[in-house]
Chains A and B, each alone.
Chain A
Amino acid sequence: MITLSLRGVRGGVGTSSTLAALGHALHELGQKVLLVDMCPENSLGLHFNMDLAPREGWARATLDQQPWHEQAWVVEPGLCVLPYGQLKPSEVFALDALLIEQPKLWTQRQIALAKGFDWILFDLPQRLPGHVSSPHCRISMMVINPDAACHVLLQPQLAQTPLFLVNRFDAASQLQRDLLLIWQQRYAHALVPVNLHADEAMGEALARSEPAGRYAPASLIALDIISLASWCLLRGRRPA
């Protein structure tokens, strides 16, 4: 079982859409995949035609001391989504404190889930340190867009983030080509060697409640995501 997390360097860089598409692509490649929503927005399931903000989820169950693993939804055999559940803002902070207090909580859960899945993918929130640090993942990627704001935010993250994934790359943009050149020159070791291109199909897929690969299998972004999934498979098989 391989664990992977995606976190945006800031909000709105396309983290959840990318995670949903990657989970779908890994499943298409024959893997058993569980996607875990670690964000209080509780909306990852919308990419898989699930209800808006389901009341039940792992976070709700953890606070209520109920069995958290019973909250997962089976999208199709071998592809499951574990929602966050509905929490009040004060409860989110209480849970974050709990996750900091019990740093091995998700590690123990990951061990318990190892038999059922080949991959567990975590959609991490941008803030909330307890939520962010709780799952200890084999592959941790930070999602960035090729814009100046992300460039500013990227530098302080370099020390603690092993991998950066470029999303929404538009090769027609001079600025984006220049930023990618600078990143390739300066941070070659930390850049995932697959860039995800800007593609209308990614936005349309969510509007259809589907991951990109199912909505538009021949689109540029679906092909990018398949490349990313293949790279993850190779990387995951490498000895830790």
Chain B
Amino acid sequence: MAALPTAVQISADILSRKERADDIARLKSMMELHALEYVDVSAHMELLQAFERWPLLAYLEAQYKKPVDLSKDPEQTP
């Protein structure tokens, strides 16, 4: 007799491709821990190390985040 798909299988099916490839995202979905604030420390560390190695990349990362703040506060613009 064929088994009906379980709730867990259904939730896994509707995940995006990126989430399916992300073990942590998948675990959170299966365990229904959507609010769990999990930080992938190793990926985060690698990213930080990349920015430490290459100052221009760190500078650009900071620049790209700035314009939103500047537009909110016109006094900061030169």
Residue of B nearest to A179 (CB): B57
Segment with Cβ contacts to B, from A19-27, A147-155, A164-172, A224-232: A147-155
Contacts A155-B64, A188-B18 given; indicate if A175 touches B47 (C-beta within 8 A). Answer: no
Contacts A152-B60, A155-B60, A155-B64 given; indicate if A181 touches B47 (C-beta within 8 A). Answer: yes
Instruction: Pick from B47, B54, B64: contact of A185, CB below 8 A.
Output: B47
Cβ of A174 under 8 Å from chain B: yes
Contacts A185-B43, A185-B47, A188-B18 given; indicate if A178 touches B60 (C-beta within 8 A). Answer: no
Task: Mark B4-40 against chain A: 1 for CB-CB distance below 8 A, else 0.
Answer: 0000000000000010000000000000000000000
B56 touches A182 (CB 8 A): no
B56 touches A148 (CB 8 A): yes
Considering the chains assembled together, what is the distance between the CA atoms of A182 and B57 in angstroms?
9
B54 touches A148 (CB 8 A): yes
A175 touches B64 (CB 8 A): no
A155 cross-chain contacts in B, Cβ below 8 A: 60, 64
A182 touches B50 (CB 8 A): yes
Considering the chains assembled together, what is the distance between the CA atoms of A200 and B36 in angstroms?
47
Residue of B nearest to A155 (CB): B64
Considering the chains assembled together, what is the distance between the CA atoms of A87 and B61 in angstroms?
42
A189 cross-chain contacts in B, Cβ below 8 A: 18
A178 cross-chain contacts in B, Cβ below 8 A: 50, 53-54, 57
Chain B interface extent, by class: 10 to 19
Instruction: Pick from A152, A181, A188: contact of B50, CB below 8 A.
Output: A181
Residue of A nearest to B44 (CB): A185
Considering the chains assembled together, what is the distance between the CA atoms of A188 and B18 in angstroms?
8
Q: Report the minimum CB–CB distance from A139 to chain B (whole Å).
A: 17
B47 touches A182 (CB 8 A): yes
Q: Report the minimum CB–CB distance from B14 to chain A (whole Å).
A: 17
B46 touches A181 (CB 8 A): yes
Considering the chains assembled together, what is the distance between the CA atoms of A174 and B64 in angstroms?
23
Interface residues of B in 40-66 (CB under 8 A from A): 43, 46-47, 50, 53-54, 56-57, 60-61, 64
Q: Report the minimum CB–CB distance from B37 to chain A (whole Å).
A: 18
Contacts A152-B60, A155-B64 given; indicate if A175 touches B18 (C-beta within 8 A). Answer: no
Q: Report the minimum CB–CB distance from A231 to chain B (whole Å).
A: 12
Residue of A nearest to B61 (CB): A182
Residue of B nearest to A193 (CB): B17
Considering the chains assembled together, what is the distance between the CA atoms of A148 and B57 in angstroms?
8
Considering the chains assembled together, what is the distance between the CA atoms of A181 and B48 in angstroms?
11
B61 cross-chain contacts in A, Cβ below 8 A: 182
Q: Report the minimum CB–CB distance from A87 to chain B (whole Å).
A: 37
A182 cross-chain contacts in B, Cβ below 8 A: 47, 50, 57, 61
Q: Which residues of B contact A (CB under 8 A)?
A: 18, 43, 46-47, 50, 53-54, 56-57, 60-61, 64
Q: Which residues of A contact B (CB under 8 A)?
A: 148, 151-152, 155, 174-175, 178-179, 181-182, 185, 188-189
